């Protein structure tokens, strides 16, 4: 074992498709999402941002490549949460009405990556790295939420309701490129920043794939 790291940050998924039909697919009983949308304008957002945290265990090779890169294999386990959203708005008349459909996602995943790294010749404390990784995870205890709001000119005209329903779980697989830089504070302690860019697939258990 060459290193053990703890990570925390943001995760952003960009869906190829995220609309009310998809929200129905992600709900155990799709009929519960039925609402009167006459006169409403649909607003779609394919991006879903949340938090991700976990830990990595790295195994580093004792030998370098011909060009002086260090090699390591990294394994990790992570928890993440995010909320895809589809909204509908009605601004006709003096009252503003809004219906928001939200899927609250909880995911547990395991990762594996092959990393090539190299320290700066001039600034020895800095280590830059890149590689190729993949992850497989499963969502659990997801909730489909419908937020209904109405805003009038007077305070008493404001109403907000929230309905929660059981969501479906999914198998999620990803392939990504990790890019990062580390700074050594002490001999065995370092801090760093990493960005993962990749693509993935979501398979709803008993449903469609996206």
Taking residues 24-31, report their average pLDDT: 96
What was the pLDDT predicted at 121?
A: 78
Instruction: Decide if 153 is inside a domain.
Output: no
Look up the domain containing 118 and give its range.
3-37+47-80+106-139+167-204
Output the average pLDDT for the chain.
Answer: 92
What was the pLDDT predicted at 106?
A: 98
What does pTM read for this prediction?
Answer: 0.86
The total domain count for the chain is 1
Per residue in 146-184, pLDDT (tens digit) is 999 998 777 777 899 999 999 999 999 999 999 999 999
Instruction: Decide if 123 is inside a domain.
Output: yes
Contacts of 77 (CB under 8 A, 6+ apart): 54, 55, 108, 109, 110, 111
Q: How many residues does the chain have?
A: 210
∠ CA 173-167-16 to the nearest 5 degrees? 45
Instruction: Decide if 158 is inside a domain.
Output: no
Torsion angle of the four alpha carbons 23, 174, 79, 28, in this order, in degrees rounded to the nearest 10: 20
């Amino acid at each position: 074992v060459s290193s053990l790291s703890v990570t925390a940050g943001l995760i952003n998924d960009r869906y190829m498709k995220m609309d009310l039909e998809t929200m129905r697919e992600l709900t155990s009983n799709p009929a519960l999402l039925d609402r009167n949308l006459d006169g409403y304008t649909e607003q779609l957002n394919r991006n879903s941002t949340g938090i991700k945290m976990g830990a990595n265990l790295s195994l580093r090779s004792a030998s370098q490549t011909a060009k002086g890169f260090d090699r390591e294999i990294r394994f990790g386990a992570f928890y993440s949460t995010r909320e895809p959203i589809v909204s509908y708005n009605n601004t006709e008349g003096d009252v503003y009405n809004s219906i928001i459909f939200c899927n609250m996602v909880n995911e547990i995943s395991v990762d594996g990556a092959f990393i090539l790294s190299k320290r700066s010749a001039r600034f020895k404390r800095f280590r830059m790295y890149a590689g190729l990784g993949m992850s497989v995870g499963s969502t659990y205890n997801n909730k489909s939420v419908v937020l209904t709001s109405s805003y009038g000119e007077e305070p008493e005209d404001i109403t907000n309701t929230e309905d929660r329903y059981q969501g479906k779980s999914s198998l999620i697989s990803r392939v990504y490129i990790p890019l990062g830089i580390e700074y050594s504070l002490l001999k065995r302690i370092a801090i760093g920043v990493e960005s993962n860019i990749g693509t993935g697939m979501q398979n709803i258990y008993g449903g469609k794939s996206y």
